[in-house]
């Protein structure tokens, strides 16, 4: 059954394919960074480094946030890829990809703001106390 949706050209499909690969690479790197932070946090607990404050737990939490954000960035890659491989569903796949990408970007933005704010509060509290 044909939905009457717009079908992207081969050149446009190539652009979506490249975008999908770029977003996937970003997610992989961001996820690897998160795993590295989690491992660093565990090492700091085991070695007793960063005894003052909650730095050890903060490192692990930041790592977990990075891993969650990375997983969210994987979601739109499949829809972008499907644009290039399906017929008659390009607009539906594009809208799905954009919704997933919007969710991932919003969570990333909120996460960065919360981490920066928490570090700022910690810095101010350390200077006052």
Strand, helix or coil for residue 90: helix
74 belongs to a structural domain: yes
pLDDT value at 95 more than 60: yes
Strands (E), 35-122: none
57 belongs to a structural domain: yes
Residue 1's pLDDT is what? Answer: 45
Overall number of domains in the chain: 1
Residue 104's pLDDT is what? Answer: 93
Residue 56's pLDDT is what? Answer: 79
3 belongs to a structural domain: no
25 belongs to a structural domain: yes
Residue 3's pLDDT is what? Answer: 55
**For residue range 23-61, what is the model confidence (pLDDT) as tens digits?**
999 999 999 999 999 999 899 888 887 766 577 788 888
pLDDT value at 122 more than 80: no
Pairwise CA distance, residues 77 & 98, whole Å: 10
pLDDT value at 70 more than 90: yes
Percent share of the chain, pLDDT over 70: 94
- Domain range for 49: 11-128
Q: How far is CA 77 from CA 28, 43, 49, 128, in A?
A: 12, 33, 39, 46
pLDDT value at 108 more than 60: yes
122 belongs to a structural domain: yes
Mean of all residue pLDDT scores within the chain: 88
DSSP letter (8 states) at residue 75: H
24 belongs to a structural domain: yes
109 belongs to a structural domain: yes
1 belongs to a structural domain: no
Residue 53's pLDDT is what? Answer: 58
């Amino acid at each position: 059954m044909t939905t009457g949706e717009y079908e992207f050209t081969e050149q446009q499909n190539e652009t979506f394919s490249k975008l999908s690969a770029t977003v996937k690479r970003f997610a992989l790197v961001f996820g690897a960074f998160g795993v590295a932070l989690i491992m660093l946090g565990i090492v700091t607990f085991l070695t007793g480094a960063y005894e003052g404050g909650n730095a050890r737990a903060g490192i692990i939490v930041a790592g977990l946030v990075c891993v969650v954000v990375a997983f969210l960035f994987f979601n739109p890659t499949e829809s972008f890829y499907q644009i290039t491989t399906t017929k008659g569903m390009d607009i539906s796949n594009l809208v799905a990809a954009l919704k997933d990408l919007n969710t991932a970007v919003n969570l990333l933005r909120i996460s960065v703001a919360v981490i920066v704010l928490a570090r700022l509060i910690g810095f101010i509290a350390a200077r006052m106390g």
